[in-house]
């Protein structure tokens, strides 16, 4: 089918399903074509033999296109505030455009050095700020395709991420029992490194992988995605599968519940202990740019 015609049909169908209200659709989940220009994914099967879900089996259930300049919509997102985790060097600010804004069709999370400190901690003087936004208690989903198009920053120390945590975090389950899925973590100290990881109660059951598809992921926008069902998690970059985790036999299994999503830009630490490494202040300010976030589920 002609690509333009297919996109029009998909848009019309989505508008009808939503009672005529316009819903952003954009590219299909698997927009690539093969060498013969046929309208099918360039990857037809995972390397373990499981067939991909085709685009016509999926529907867009939630999207954040970041098309309206200003601040993020707090009906969808909550700001984390302060020194939140991992004894990282940055202070996450709330509703501050210098650290988090929508401009030119992108969410821009900026890590920067300040002239006056924000808060204080024994591991940070508070002169470094950034932002982290989450959908917890506002939106969460169980299974489907989770996808962002993003451009990560260069430099030593920056540590941008797109990740998810289980809703059981709200009913008494601590970390890692609540479950964590790291769809994209970028280690700027190694510009060719993208990490995928999952965490749960028994760390011996969980796997992590680093793949080097690009020489430097900060050079342009890439699509980072997770395809998730009750038996497996499939991670990909521009539809190139980087990591597959079999979750069918995990017990206890935190990956059969709803998950909310997070977008954040950490700035490493004062030592090499974090994924981003020891922060080099000379690289600041840095920007984590996100073109869109889209969640698809089977029809």
**Domain limits of the chain?**
43-298
Residue 56 is predicted with a pLDDT of 65
* Local confidence band at 18 (pLDDT 50, 70, 90 cut-offs): very low
Q: Render the burial of 165-187: b for 16+ CB within 10 Å, e for the rest.
A: bbbbbeeebeebbbbbbbbbbbb
Residue 255 is predicted with a pLDDT of 94
Strands (E) in the chain, as ranges, are 58-64, 78-79, 91-92, 100-103, 106-113, 128-130, 132-134, 144-151, 159-166, 180-186, 194-199, 208-211, 222-228, 232-237, 240-246, 259-266, 286-298
**What mean pLDDT do residues 185-194 have?**
81
Mapped onto helix, strand or coil, the DSSP state of residue 221 is coil
Q: What's the fold here for domain 43-298?
A: Jelly Rolls (2.60.120)
pLDDT in tens, 200-237: 886 555 666 666 778 889 999 999 999 898 888 988 88
pLDDT in tens, 163-185: 999 999 999 998 889 999 999 99
Phi and psi at residue 41, in whole multiples of 5°? -60, 150
Q: Rg (Cα) of the chain, in Å, rounded?
A: 19
Any bridge partners for residue 55, and if so which? none
């Amino acid at each position: 089918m002609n690509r333009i015609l297919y996109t029009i049909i998909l848009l019309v169908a989505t508008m009808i399903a939503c009672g005529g209200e316009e819903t952003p659709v954009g590219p299909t989940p698997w927009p690539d074509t093969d060498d013969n220009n046929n309208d099918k994914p360039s990857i037809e099967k995972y390397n373990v033999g499981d067939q991909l879900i085709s685009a016509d089996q999926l529907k867009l259930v939630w999207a954040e296109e970041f098309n309206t300049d200003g601040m993020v919509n707090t009906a969808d997102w909550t700001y984390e505030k302060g020194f939140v985790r991992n004894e990282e060097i940055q202070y996450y600010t709330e509703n501050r455009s210098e650290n988090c804004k929508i401009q030119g069709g992108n969410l821009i999370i900026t890590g920067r050095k300040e002239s006056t400190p924000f808060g204080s901690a024994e591991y940070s003087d508070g002169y470094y700020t950034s932002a982290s936004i989450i959908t917890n208690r506002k939106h969460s989903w169980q299974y489907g395709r989770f996808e962002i198009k993003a451009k990560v920053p260069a430099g030593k120390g920056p540590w941008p991420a797109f990740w998810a945590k289980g809703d059981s975090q709200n009913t008494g389950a601590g970390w890692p029992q609540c479950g964590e899925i790291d769809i994209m973590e970028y280690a700027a100290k190694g510009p060719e490194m993208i990490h995928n990881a999952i965490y749960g109660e028994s760390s011996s059951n969980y796997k992590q992988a680093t793949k080097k598809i690009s020489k430097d992921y900060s050079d342009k926008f890439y699509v980072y995605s997770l395809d998730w069902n009750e038996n497996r998690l499939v991670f990909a970059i521009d539809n190139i599968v980087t990591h597959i985790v079999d979750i069918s036999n995990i017990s206890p299994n935190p990956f059969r519940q709803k998950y909310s999503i997070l977008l954040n830009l950490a700035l490493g630490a004062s030592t090499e202990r974090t994924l981003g490494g020891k922060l080099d202040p000379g690289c600041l300010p840095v920007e984590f740019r996100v073109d869109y976030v889209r969640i698809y589920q089977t029809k």
